[in-house]
Amino acid sequence: FKMTTVEEMEAATNRLLETGAKVGADAWQFRVKNQTPHCKFGEQGVCCRICSMGPCRITPKAPRGICGCDVHGIVGRNYLKFTAGGAATHSDHGREICNTLGHAAPDGAYKVKDPAKLIRIAKEWGVETEGRDIYDLAHEMSELALSEYGKNHGVSRWLKRAPQHTQDLWHNAGIEPRAIDREVSCALHMTHMGCSSKPEALIRQSLRNGLSDGWGGSMCGTEFSDVLFGTPKPIDTEANLGVMVAENVNIVVHGHDPSLSEMICEVADDPEMIAYAKEMGAKGITISGVCCTSNEVAMRRGIPMAGNFLQQENVVLTGACEAIVVDVQCIFPALGPLSKCFHTKFITTSPIAQMPDSDYIEFSAGTALEKAKEIVKTAIENFKNRKPDLVYIPDMKQKATVGYSVEAIVKTLDGVTNSQVDKTGTTKPLVDCITSGVIRGAVAMVGCNNPKIRPDYAHIELMKKLIANDIIVVASGCSAQAAAKAGLMDKAAKDLCGAGLKRVCELADIPPVLHMGSCVDISRMMVLVSELAKDSGLNISQLPVVGCAPEWMSEKAVSIGNYVVATGIDTFLGVDPYVSGSTEITELLTSGVKDWVEASYTVEKDIDKLVDKMIERIEEKRTALGI
């Protein structure tokens, strides 16, 4: 077993940038140079531009804005706005899924692929399921889920999944999320000129708004995606640019919402389409993915992952991409001009994410099949426009086993501590592995990559060290793709583990880094820790489990961080969330919030120290439990 190193990936990128140079293409590697050094005021979070008396920048000589707001108010408001952006984004994605559920029909484009899960959620929500037509139930659940976004009273229905202790903490701290949209609105109201400037109030709302994402909108996204497209089960796939096939029509799906990517995969599988591709001179059609939508179709269909966030331009630079089809979020506007340097069609599909230099084919649940066909055909017909001398696909890919939903983890690890026992259907065997010390703990590795950190390096190095120390890793988003590209999701990577984790990997037949899905699927991790807490009789904050986003970049990542911390999980960041300008906000996030939710943030830009601090925290938690 041989890993792919970051050096090898960088060499491949450099080779692709040479192709880019031939056609005059720009790339993030060059734009970073133009933007460095970054604005210090922005970096520290001390610039306020929420009213037109400003912008006001706080310095020792000018300690207050024109309205009199101090640095803590400004940094806190900026932090809350950042959170609101992320929560809105994930939650709106979740809303689209709830809407798609309403379009499910036995003879339509969208079906109910996991009726048992739909029934399970309906029961949780107190909805009558006995003798119901499954599509009738789906439509009622779609309406109920959509009303979670704007209901007048009460708190998120999903909170009941958390251990009682966690629910009590949320209640006592005044951070139980109400209607999903309300928390975003409330955040934007609080951050308006002349509303909140008290650090504590701003951070409480940051946690609440985060919770409305993880225990609201994102959970809707994950759960109803499973209902529609199937709950992920372990499945083999491949990762890195080498999954693109030179002789085939290459369609790359990029973005987040599986409503689009699932349909593209469905249509590209149609023998008629494959025949059409052959007619146009290709051998077949290859779909691969970038970013979270790639995670979605990898987990459910084994569609290969071409790469993560900072690899999106590389896909076009191969010269072999007929179409890059996007929906929402994390899409570089750079893809417009870049695609013009090649034959690639840059196809935008969502009114939410419209970009210059793209072909816009609006996609909606009602017209899904028809639009997906139009998109796939456009790609096929573009094959003939390739410039063969520009085609270079790096011969670089790794095997990966993905698809570890909570349901799959429970099933796979059941009985692993004692092959004689009956299946428990719970996380108890995993609890046993942890309490006995065979596994020391778990780390949830999540988030993006970011040029501020050597891309993918932190993800990969951290994971290697963690598994060598018998700490199992669950991963999502672009972190999961970093792992897959490196080979850490190949079952053979067990050889990099400590003896305990290696044994578990062998017994359960799993890789040491488990792919739990996209970023909205971090809600799966919340369900998993809740189950672990209930099955062990411990509070979530007592479990030897931490979260980590070493290379995060997006507003969504801050929203996630807030709900992970608010759920009782210490969270480690490798990039500062623009709060270093305020001692009070920094103190609250790195320590103060512990009084409310029993967890807090650690920011550590030195990657070696970051991993050591996580291991230390895990061992502290073990010591406190006497295990």
Residues engaged in binding ligand NFS (CB under 6 A): 256, 291-292, 308-309, 330, 447-448, 477-478, 518-519, 554, 556-557
Centroid of chain to Cα 334: 21
Smallest separation, CB 39 to ligand SF4 (Å)? 16
Residue 70 CB, shortest distance to ligand SF4, in Å, is 9
Contacts of 591 (CB under 8 A, 6+ apart): 600
Residue type, 299: M
Compare residues 66 and 105 and give the one whose CB is closer to ligand SF4: 66
The nearer residue to ligand NFS, 327 or 598, going by C-beta atoms, is 327
Size of the site for ligand SF4 (CB under 6 A): 14
Minimal distance, residue 207 CB to ligand SF4, in Å: 23
| Interatomic CA distance for residues 224 and 218, integer angstroms | 10
Choose from ligand SF4, ligand NFS, none: what does 292 bind? Cβ within 5-8 Å by kind: ligand NFS
Measure the CA–CA gap between 252 and 476, rounded to whole angstroms: 19
Closest CA to 493 of 520, 512, 517: 512
* Distant-in-sequence, close-in-space partners of 324: CB < 8 Å, separation ≥ 6: 252, 254, 290, 312, 315, 316, 335, 339, 344, 345, 346, 347
Q: What's the closest the beta carbon of residue 346 comes to ligand NFS, in angstroms?
A: 17
In the numeric block, which tokens belong to residue 426?
């719970």
Specify the residue, 65 or 577, whose C-beta has the smaller distance to ligand SF4. 65
CA 330 – CA 311 distance, rounded (Å)? 11
Residue 348: what are its φ and ψ, rounded to 5°? -90, 150
**According to CB under 6 A, which residues from 4 to 63 bind ligand SF4?**
48-51, 53-56
Query: Which residue type does 434 have?
Result: I
- Residue 50 binds which entry of ligand NFS, ligand SF4, none, CB below 5-8 Å type-dependent: ligand SF4
CB closer to ligand SF4, 54 vs 451: 54
In the complex, what is the shortest distance from the CB of residue 191 to ligand SF4, in angstroms, rounded to a whole number?
9
Phi, psi of 498 (to 5 degrees): -65, 170
- Site stretch for ligand SF4 (CB under 6 A), options 64-72, 273-281, 469-477, 601-609: 64-72
466 binds, among ligand SF4, ligand NFS, none (CB under 5 to 8 A by kind): none
Residue 173 CB, nearest distance to ligand NFS (Å)? 26
Neighbouring C-beta atoms of residue 441, cutoff 10 Å: 22
- Least distance (Å) from ligand SF4 to the CB of residue 194? 7
Cβ-based nearer residue to ligand NFS, 335 or 478: 478
The kind and range of the H/E element at 316 are helix 312-317
The residue behind tokens 């040491």 is: 512
Rule CB under 6 A: is residue 66 a binding residue for ligand SF4?
A: yes
- At its nearest, how many Å lie between ligand NFS and the CB of residue 258? 12
C-alpha distances (whole Å) from 495 to each of 225, 412, 467, 485 are 34, 19, 10, 17
* Partner interacting with residue 519 (select from ligand NFS, ligand SF4, none; CB below 5-8 Å by kind): ligand NFS
Among residues 65 and 234, whose Cβ is nearest to ligand SF4? 65
Specify the residue, 102 or 477, whose C-beta has the smaller distance to ligand NFS. 477
CB-CB contact of 273 with 285 (8 Å): yes
Percent of the chain that is helix, strand, coil (3-state, to 5): 55, 10, 35
Token pair, residue 202, equals 């701003």
Identify which of residues 212 and 248 has a Cβ nearer to ligand NFS in the complex: 212
Contact residues for ligand SF4, defined by CB under 6 A: 48-51, 53-56, 65-67, 69, 74, 193
